[in-house]
């Protein structure tokens, strides 16, 4: 059964209705993200300091995306793009807020905007995504869900399917992140996001988490 067909069947049987177990999962995710932030704090501080030294800019950037039910969502990432280092001491700003509607149309495995080898390593290993643990801790995101997109991306590539995608919290990882990542087209990503929303289950949730660790460990198809 194709992802689109499975989604239609799931909707017909009301399988996308909220189940009590997901409220428990959300609580566990928020606790787990706080614990991970604490455990990974030496790594996070080291990466932040290195970004500041190399770029002379704020270590974090927040990109405006569309969150659950269409609410604005500022997704956090370590900065990995800068043209040339600024001179002098870096500013005191911790986060730079960015509104960029170009989305993934511009992204590829070899992005010309990534000029630092350290930044490239952070992207391939997905270390740059770790600040999104803060988004999970605040209840804005989940560990597993459709990746958060810009308003322009939703309108252009998801169209009438956008409301379905926005029923769930966006995730740090999702189905297409473990089945091709940057190699996939928007159409393939849309189909996988719809399949993820329409077939939400604990088995799928933990399968994606496990496969994410394997994919990230290999550094496959990152950008």
% residues pLDDT > 70 (the chain): 80
- Quick one: which of 55, 57, 147 has its CA closest to 95? 57
Looking at residue 29, what is its pLDDT? Answer: 97
Rounded-to-integer distance, Cα 152 and Cα 69, Å: 16
Which residues, in sequence order, are CB contacts of 191 under 8 Å at separation 6+?
Answer: 2, 3, 4
> Pairing between strand 60-66 and 72-78?
antiparallel
- Domain boundaries defined on the chain: 18-218
Which residue shows structure tokens 């002379």?
56
- Quick one: which of 69, 201, 194 has its CA closest to 139? 69
20 or 2, higher pLDDT:
20
Of the candidate ranges 82-86, 124-128, 193-197, 205-209, the one whose mean pLDDT is the lowest = 82-86
Q: Summarize pLDDT for 134-178 with one digit per residue, the tens.
A: 999 999 999 999 999 999 999 999 999 999 999 999 999 999 888
Return phi, psi of residue 161, to 5°. Answer: -85, -10
Handedness of CA 54, 56, 60, 64 (dihedral sign): negative
- What mean pLDDT do residues 16-21 have? 70
Q: What is the 3-state secondary structure (H, E, C) of 64-109?
A: EEECHHHCEEEEEEECCCCCCCCCCCCCCCCEEEECCCCHHHHCCC
Q: With cut-offs at 50, 70 and 90, classify the pLDDT of residue 106.
A: very low
Which residues, in sequence order, are CB contacts of 49 under 8 Å at separation 6+?
Answer: 59
């Amino acid at each position: 059964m194709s992802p689109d067909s499975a989604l239609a069947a799931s909707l017909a049987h009301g399988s996308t209705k909220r189940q009590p177990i997901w409220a428990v999962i959300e609580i566990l995710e928020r606790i787990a993200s706080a614990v991970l932030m604490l455990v990974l704090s030496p790594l996070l501080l080291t990466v932040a300091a290195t970004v500041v030294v190399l770029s002379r800019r704020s270590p974090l950037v927040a990109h405006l995306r569309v969150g659950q039910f269409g609410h604005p969502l500022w997704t956090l990432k370590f900065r990995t793009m800068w043209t040339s280092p600024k001179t002098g001491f870096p500013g005191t700003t911790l986060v730079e807020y960015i509104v960029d509607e170009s989305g993934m149309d511009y992204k590829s495995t070899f992005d010309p905007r990534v000029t630092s080898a350290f930044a490239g390593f952070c992207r391939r290993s997905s270390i740059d995504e770790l600040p999104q643990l803060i988004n999970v801790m605040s209840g804005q995101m989940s560990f597993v869900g459709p990746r958060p997109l810009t308003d322009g991306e939703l309108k252009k590539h998801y169209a009438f399917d956008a409301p379905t995608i926005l029923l769930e919290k966006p995730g740090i990882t999702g189905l297409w992140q473990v089945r091709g990542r940057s190699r996939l087209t928007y159409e393939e990503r849309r189909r996988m996001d719809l399949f993820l929303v329409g077939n939400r289950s604990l088995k799928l949730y933990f399968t994606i988490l496990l496969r994410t660790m394997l994919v990230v460990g290999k550094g496959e198809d990152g950008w």
